[in-house]
C-alpha cells in the first residue's frame, strides 16, 4: 500500500524537521551508492560534443532506469543522437527534470583519465563530472527513488536527458516543444543555489572582405584585418558602455571576440578576415535588439571606413531566462534546502551563462536551474564535483517531486 500524505512522523529524531511521512518514505528510498556509481558510469561513457556522440550514454541511462521499472523512450534528434524521455506517475501536472548528456571535448592537461570517474577526497573527477553528468545522475537517482518508494503521484515526474547543449541545444529545443512541463528544473551546476534568471547568448560569424595587393603598396588594396580591428575597437567601446548598466544579480551584458582568422602572409594585404563575436544578452533585453546593436556598430564602421564589405551570420541564439512564474518552484526548492539543513542563497540570484532552461520558459513552462557542482570549474581539465553536492541535489529533487505532485 502506498504511504499516506500524513505529514506527522513517529520518529522525529531521524527525520529532518519539516519532512513529512510521505517525503521521508522517498528520501529513505534514495540510494547514494547507486547515484555515485551511476555518475561514474556516465563519465566512463564519453559523449563529447563535437562530434556529438551521446547515443551510448542515452542508452546506458535508459537501461539504468528501465531496470528500476521506469518507462523510457529514446527519440532521435539527429542521426544516432537520441533524447531520452522517462516518466513516472500519471496524467496531470508535470515536473520535468532536464539535463544534457553531451560534454565539451576532454582536451588536455588532465592529471587523471578524463573518462575514469576517479573518486578522491570526496570528489568525482572526469569530463562532465560537474557539467553536467552529476546533475543527470541526481535526477535519475531521484526518479529511481520515487519509483522505488511506491508513492502515488497526482501528476507525472518526467526526465529529459537531452543532446547537444554545448553546441546548438537541438535536444532541449525539441524536448521543450514536445513537453514544456508545468515546472522545469534544469540540473546544470548551480552550486546548490536556485537560479531563476540568466543571460541569453548570441554568437555571430562576421566576415570582412578586402582586396589583396602587394604589401609594398597597401593603399591600392583593402586590408580586411584592419577593418576587423576597427570593428573590435568599437565592440570594446560598446562593452565599456554596457558595463555601466549591470543587471542586479547577474552583471552587465558583455562582448567577447572568440576567434579571428584572416590574411595570407606578411607581404600580402589581407583580402579576408573572419571573426566570431559573443554577445551575452540580459533578461531585460531581446535577442533581436542585441543583434540590432551589433549591426549598428557595423553601420558606424561603414561611415568611418567607406567601402567596407562585411557579412554577419547568427550562429548561436539562446534566449535569456527571465524568471517568469517561477515563484512556487523557487519556494519549493528553497524550502527543501532549508528542511535538509542547507543554507539558501540570496534571492534573485542569476546566471551569466545560458542554459536549456530558456527553451522551456519560452515554451510556456516555469523553469529554474538547480544542480550539483560549481560552473566555475566546468569545461576545465580535472573537472570534478563533490559527492556531498550530488547527494544533496538528489534529495532536493526528490522532495520537490513529492511536494509538487502529491500535495
Return the C-alpha torsion angle 57, 355, 111, 64, nearest 10.
-20
165 included as an active-site residue:
yes
Helix (H, G, I), strand (E, B) or coil at 39: helix
User: Who's near 144: CB < 8 A, 6+ residues apart?
Assistant: 29, 31, 34, 64, 65, 68, 70
Rounded Cα distance, 282 and 263, in Å: 35
Residue (135 or 263) nearer to Zn ion, CB: 135
Contact yes or no for 181/402 (Cβ under 8 A): no
Site for Zn ion in 256-295 (CB under 5 A): none
User: Who's near 103: CB < 8 A, 6+ residues apart?
Assistant: 46, 47, 48, 49, 127, 128, 131, 133, 166
* In the complex, least distance from residue 371 CB atom to Zn ion, rounded to whole angstroms: 9
Q: Which of 23, 48, 102, 131 binds Zn ion (CB under 5 A)?
A: 131
Query: Does 182 sit near Zn ion (CB under 5 A)?
Result: no
Q: Which of 25, 77, 86, 132 binds Zn ion (CB under 5 A)?
A: 132
CA 12 to chain centre: 37
How many chain residues are in contact with Zn ion, going by CB under 5 A? 3
* In the complex, least distance from residue 131 CB atom to Zn ion, rounded to whole angstroms: 4
Contact yes or no for 331/9 (Cβ under 8 A): no
Give me the 338-377 binding string for Zn ion, x by CB under 5 A, dash otherwise. Answer: ----------------------------------------
Residue (35 or 369) nearer to Zn ion, CB: 369
34 included as an active-site residue:
no
Residue (118 or 190) nearer to Zn ion, CB: 190
* In the complex, least distance from residue 82 CB atom to Zn ion, rounded to whole angstroms: 18
* In the complex, least distance from residue 52 CB atom to Zn ion, rounded to whole angstroms: 14
Rounded Cα distance, 120 and 274, in Å: 44
Residue whose C-beta lies closest to Zn ion: 131
Give me the 77-116 binding string for Zn ion, x by CB under 5 A, dash otherwise. Answer: ----------------------------------------
Give me the 138-177 binding string for Zn ion, x by CB under 5 A, dash otherwise. Answer: ----------------------------------------
For the beta sheet containing 384-386, the strands, ordered from the edge strand earlier in sequence to the opposite edge, are 119-120, 123-125, 384-386
> Judged by CB under 5 A, which stretch of 21-29, 123-131, 202-210, 234-242 contacts Zn ion?
123-131
For the beta sheet containing 254-262, the strands, ordered from the edge strand earlier in sequence to the opposite edge, are 254-262, 272-281, 200-209, 309-318
Residue (23 or 164) nearer to Zn ion, CB: 164
Strand partners, 162: 100
Contact yes or no for 340/403 (Cβ under 8 A): no
Residue tagged active-site, from 23, 54, 102, 356:
102
Contact yes or no for 321/196 (Cβ under 8 A): yes
Give me the 184-213 binding string for Zn ion, x by CB under 5 A, dash otherwise. Answer: ----x-------------------------
> Judged by CB under 5 A, which stretch of 131-139, 172-180, 204-212, 260-268 contacts Zn ion?
131-139
Instruction: Count other C-beta atoms under 10 Å from residue 121's C-beta.
Output: 8
CA 168 to chain centre: 12
Residue (132 or 235) nearer to Zn ion, CB: 132
Residue tagged active-site, from 165, 182, 188, 285:
165
| Catalytic (active-site) positions | 102, 165
Binding site for Zn ion (CB under 5 A): 131-132, 188
Amino acid at each position: 500500500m502506498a504511504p499516506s500524505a500524513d505529514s506527522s512522523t513517529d520518529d522525529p529524531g531521524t527525520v529532518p524537521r519539516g519532512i513529512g511521512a510521505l517525503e521521508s518514505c522517498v528520501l529513505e528510498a534514495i540510494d547514494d551508492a547507486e547515484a555515485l556509481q551511476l555518475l561514474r558510469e556516465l563519465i566512463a561513457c564519453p559523449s563529447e560534443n563535437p562530434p556529438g556522440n551521446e547515443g551510448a550514454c542515452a542508452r546506458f541511462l535508459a537501461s539504468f532506469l528501465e531496470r528500476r521499472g521506469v518507462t523510457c523512450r529514446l527519440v532521435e534528434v539527429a542521426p544516432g543522437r537520441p533524447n531520452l524521455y522517462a516518466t513516472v506517475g500519471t496524467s496531470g501536472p508535470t515536473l520535468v527534470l532536464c539535463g544534457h548528456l553531451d560534454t565539451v571535448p576532454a582536451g588536455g592537461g588532465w592529471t587523471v583519465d578524463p573518462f575514469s570517474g576517479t573518486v578522491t577526497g570526496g570528489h568525482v573527477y572526469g569530463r562532465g563530472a560537474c557539467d553536467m553528468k552529476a546533475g543527470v545522475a541526481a535526477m535519475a537517482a531521484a526518479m529511481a527513488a520515487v519509483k522505488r518508494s511506491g508513492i502515488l503521484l497526482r501528476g507525472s515526474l518526467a526526465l529529459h536527458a537531452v543532446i547537444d547543449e554545448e553546441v546548438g541545444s537541438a535536444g532541449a529545443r525539441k524536448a521543450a516543444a514536445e513537453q514544456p512541463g508545468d515546472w522545469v528544473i534544469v540540473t546544470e551546476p548551480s552550486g546548490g543555489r536556485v537560479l531563476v534568471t540568466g543571460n541569453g547568448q548570441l554568437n555571430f560569424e562576421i566576415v570582412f572582405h578586402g582586396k589583396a595587393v602587394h604589401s609594398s603598396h597597401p593603399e591600392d588594396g583593402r586590408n580586411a584585418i584592419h577593418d576587423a580591428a576597427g570593428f573590435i575597437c568599437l565592440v570594446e567601446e560598446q562593452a565599456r558602455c554596457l558595463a555601466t548598466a549591470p543587471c542586479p544579480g547577474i552583471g552587465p551584458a558583455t562582448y567577447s571576440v572568440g576567434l579571428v582568422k584572416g590574411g595570407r602572409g606578411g607581404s600580402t594585404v589581407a583580402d579576408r578576415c573572419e571573426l566570431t563575436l559573443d554577445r551575452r544578452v540580459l533578461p531585460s533585453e531581446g535577442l533581436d535588439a542585441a543583434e540590432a546593436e551589433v549591426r549598428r556598430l557595423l553601420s558606424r564602421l561603414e561611415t568611418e571606413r567607406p567601402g567596407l564589405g562585411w557579412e554577419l551570420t547568427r550562429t548561436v541564439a539562446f534566449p535569456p531566462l527571465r524568471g517568469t512564474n517561477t515563484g512556487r518552484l523557487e519556494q519549493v526548492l528553497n524550502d527543501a534546502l532549508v528542511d535538509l539543513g542547507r543554507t539558501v542563497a540570496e534571492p534573485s540570484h542569476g546566471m551569466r551563462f545560458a542554459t536549456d532552461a530558456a527553451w522551456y520558459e519560452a515554451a510556456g513552462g516555469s523553469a529554474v536551474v538547480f544542480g550539483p557542482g560549481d560552473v566555475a570549474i566546468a569545461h576545465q581539465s580535472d573537472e570534478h564535483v563533490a559527492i556531498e553536492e550530488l547527494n544533496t541535489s538528489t534529495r532536493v529533487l526528490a522532495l520537490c517531486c513529492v511536494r509538487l505532485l502529491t500535495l
